[in-house]
């Protein structure tokens, strides 16, 4: 009696690859959800842009236009693009009020989109090796932290990765995919002025491939986004656009004048050294920041920079939109005011850093006859960043537990605690129609609902005095991260102290609320 063969047919390699890819994606999403939960901060961050976006959303949703309603006189807003405030305004219309927590959840949803489109880009670039690169990307604490901040970084990252995905697909498959790539790139420009780097990068890719019709469409749509804002600024006679800030020697002190070609070259070099030897290595390997060893950070930063530049060099001959964006986005980053050099502006480029680091390691592994060098380097990043996540979660989780138990200031530094304590007093004791002059006036509006203004950063006392005369109260701060109040405002107040009596004084570090006596 014969037996039937029990030997099964060999598995299909494509099916195995797809199964492995799905497993990597699931692991990456689970890791992202876990890290997001550990890092989530329900409170407003102290940068200030988040409060401005919420004020703009409130203005749009209530029919007051694109205005800074947190500032006295509600002037036209000229700095940020309209895209993100419009999205927040739609959320406000749905919920009926401005909610910091809801806005954070909306940004977090965009982070899931960024992970998804990042996966699609990585699959197109790395095929079977895309999974480890995705894990390295989602393990970056800087990226996780950006996933819950009411800022444009994460929505922009989602839109930019989606645009790159469709651009790469158009280059590999059919030009019709350029349409969503162009629309998404322009949409990203509506979210963030730095989106000009993405538009320029995609345009460069279209140029070298001679896709003239798509290049023309991209140029027309980008101009339709950029030109009206510049026209509005010119008509208002104000110098508050990003172009003006970009060309200024100091973005906050107009007296320093504008940049010349040599100034821009010096700025680019200074920014390169800061990003290459400090910001980028600490973003990719956050434990370097915890070690506080500048020499170690500089050495590792130099090594990472060489590998990333090597990876970019090996890819330039492919002339894809990815390389165009890397070049344009990198140049834009180097040309930005050095005062703003920091990890926030690096967030949209983090996927490119990881991608070209992998390509650089892959090229080096080929020369060293070690084919798994790139995978080993990626695994090392995941392990190191898992440690960094644990270190940071040990700080954020207790803060969030304290916040849930009723400490609304949990996690804030002492100086910011005092600032918000003064604003709490203002909300309870100052009439709604009174104006408060303060550093970070957007938080005065967010915390109290009152309009505010900031003193000008200038030594011209007449201008500072004029700003103080427009206010009913002055929040005199003792921030540790800036001296502007002490340097610019205090000299004016000391000219006539009785005119500014103290209404409230906090515990150390002392913050003061002063009343402005207009009758004197």
What are the tens digits of pLDDT across the range 211-227? 999 999 999 999 999 88
What is residue 254's predicted lDDT score, i.e. its pLDDT? 63
**Which residues contact residue 403 at a Cβ distance below 8 angstroms, ignoring those fewer than 6 apart?**
42, 43, 410, 411
- Local structure of 479: helix, strand or coil: coil
Closest CA to 425 of 516, 502, 492: 502
Cβ of 432: how many Cβ atoms within 10 Å? 9
What are the tens digits of pLDDT across the range 11-29? 444 443 455 578 889 999 9
- The dihedral formed by the CA atoms of 456, 441, 347 and 143, expressed in degrees to the nearest 10: 150
Cβ atoms of 397 and 39 closer than 8 Å: no
What are the tens digits of pLDDT across the range 435-451? 999 999 999 999 999 99
Whole-prediction pTM: 0.91
What are the tens digits of pLDDT across the range 387-444? 899 888 998 999 999 999 999 999 999 999 999 999 999 999 999 999 999 999 999 9
Closest CA to 37 of 153, 152, 158, 148: 148
Closest CA to 377 of 390, 360, 402: 360
- Local structure of 253: helix, strand or coil: coil
Whole-angstrom distance, CA of residue 312 vs CA of residue 329: 13
Q: Burial of 228 by CB count in 10 Å (0-12 exposed, 13-18 middle, 19+ buried)?
A: exposed
Closest CA to 142 of 301, 24, 284: 284
Mean pLDDT, rounded, for 321-332: 94
Whole-angstrom distance, CA of residue 350 vs CA of residue 344: 10
Asked if the peptide bond before residue 509 counts as cis, ω within 30 degrees of 0, the response is yes
What is residue 10's predicted lDDT score, i.e. its pLDDT? 44
Structure tokens belonging to residue 66:
């694109």
Cβ atoms of 82 and 54 closer than 8 Å: no
Mean pLDDT, rounded, for 323-345: 88
What is residue 20's predicted lDDT score, i.e. its pLDDT? 58
Structure tokens belonging to residue 492:
């004016």
What is residue 4's predicted lDDT score, i.e. its pLDDT? 44
Kind plus residue range of the DSSP H or E element containing 503: strand 502-505
Bridge partners of 512, per DSSP, are: 476, 505
Whole-angstrom distance, CA of residue 265 vs CA of residue 145: 32
CA 209, 212, 218, 219 dihedral sign is positive
What is residue 270's predicted lDDT score, i.e. its pLDDT? 92
Give the chain's mean pLDDT.
90
What are the tens digits of pLDDT across the range 255-298? 666 777 888 888 889 999 999 999 999 999 998 988 888 899 99
């Amino acid at each position: 009696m014969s037996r039937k063969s029990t030997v099964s047919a060999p598995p299909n390699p494509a099916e195995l690859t797809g199964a492995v890819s799905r497993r990597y994606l699931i692991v990456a999403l689970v890791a992202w959800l876990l890290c997001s939960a550990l890092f989530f901060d329900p409170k407003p961050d102290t940068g200030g842009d988040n409060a401005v976006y919420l004020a703009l959303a409130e203005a749009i949703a209530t029919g007051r236009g694109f205005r800074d309603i947190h500032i006295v006189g509600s002037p036209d807003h000229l700095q940020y693009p309209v895209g993100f405030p419009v999205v927040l305004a739609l959320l406000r219309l749905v919920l009926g009020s401005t909610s910091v927590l809801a806005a954070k959840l909306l940004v977090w949803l965009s982070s899931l989109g960024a992970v998804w489109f990042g996966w699609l880009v990585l699959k197109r670039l790395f095929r079977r090796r895309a999974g480890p690169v995705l894990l390295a990307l989602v393990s970056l604490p800087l990226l996780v932290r950006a996933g819950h901040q009411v800022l444009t970084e994460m929505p922009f990252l989602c839109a930019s990765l989606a645009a790159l995905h469709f651009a790469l697909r158009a280059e590999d498959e059919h030009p019709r995919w350029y349409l969503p790539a162009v629309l998404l790139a322009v949409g990203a420009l509506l979210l963030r002025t730095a989106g000009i780097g993405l538009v320029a990068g995609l345009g460069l890719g279209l140029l070298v491939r001679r896709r003239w019709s798509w290049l023309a469409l991209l140029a027309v749509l980008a101009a339709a986004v950029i030109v009206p804002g510049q026209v509005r600024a010119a008509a208002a006679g104000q110098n508050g656009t990003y172009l003006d800030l970009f060309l200024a020697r100091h973005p906050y002190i107009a007296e320093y004048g504008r940049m010349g070609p040599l100034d821009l070259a010096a700025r680019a070099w200074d920014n390169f050294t800061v990003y290459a030897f400090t910001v980028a290595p600490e973003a990719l390997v956050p434990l370097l920041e915890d070690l506080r060893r500048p020499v170690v950070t500089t050495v590792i930063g130099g090594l990472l920079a060489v590998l990333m530049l090597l990876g970019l060099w090996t890819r330039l001959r492919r002339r894809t939109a990815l390389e165009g964006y890397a070049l344009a986005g990198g140049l834009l980053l180097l040309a930005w005011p050095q005062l703003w050099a920091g990890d926030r502006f690096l967030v949209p480029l983090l996927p490119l850093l990881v991608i070209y680091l992998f390509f650089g390691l892959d090229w080096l592994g080929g020369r060293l006859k070690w084919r798994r060098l790139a995978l080993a380097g990626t695994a090392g990043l995941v392990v190191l960043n898992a440690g960094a996540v644990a270190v940071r979660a040990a700080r954020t989780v207790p803060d969030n537990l304290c916040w849930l138990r009723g400490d609304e200031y949990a996690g804030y530094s002492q100086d910011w605690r005092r600032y918000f304590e003064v604003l709490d007093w203002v909300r309870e004791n100052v009439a709604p129609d009174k104006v408060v002059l303060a550093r970070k006036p957007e938080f005065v509006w967010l915390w109290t609902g009152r309009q505010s203004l900031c003193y000008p950063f200038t030594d011209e006392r007449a201008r500072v005095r004029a700003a103080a005369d427009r206010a009913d109260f002055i929040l005199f701060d003792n921030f540790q991260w800036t001296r502007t109040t002490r340097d610019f405002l205090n000299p004016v107040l000391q000219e006539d102290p009785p005119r500014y009596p103290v209404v409230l004084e906090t515990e150390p570090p002392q913050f003061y609320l002063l009343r402005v006596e207009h009758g004197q």
